[in-house]
Amino acid sequence: MALQTAAALSPRSISSSTTIPCAAKHPIIYSSTSSSSCFLSQSQRKNVAVGLSGVTTSKRKRAWASTVKSSLDTVGPTVNVGQVTEVDKDTFWPIVKAAGDKTVVLDMYTQWCGPCKVIAPKYQELSKKYLDVVFLKLDCNQENKPLAKELGIRVVPTFKILKDNQVVKEVKGAKFDDLVAAIDVVRSS
Q: Catalogue the active-site residues.
A: 113, 116
Q: Could you give the strand order of the β-sheet that contains 28-34, starting from the edge strand earlier in sequence?
A: 18-20, 28-34, 64-70
**Using the 8-state DSSP alphabet, how is residue 22 labeled?**
B
Query: 87 - beta bridge partners?
Result: 138
Q: Strands 84-87 and 28-34, how do they pair?
A: unpaired
Residues 6+ apart with CB under 8 A from 54: 67, 68, 69
Q: How far is CA 150 from the centre of its chain?
A: 19
* Amino acid letter, 137: K
Interatomic CA distance for residues 187 and 33, integer angstroms: 50
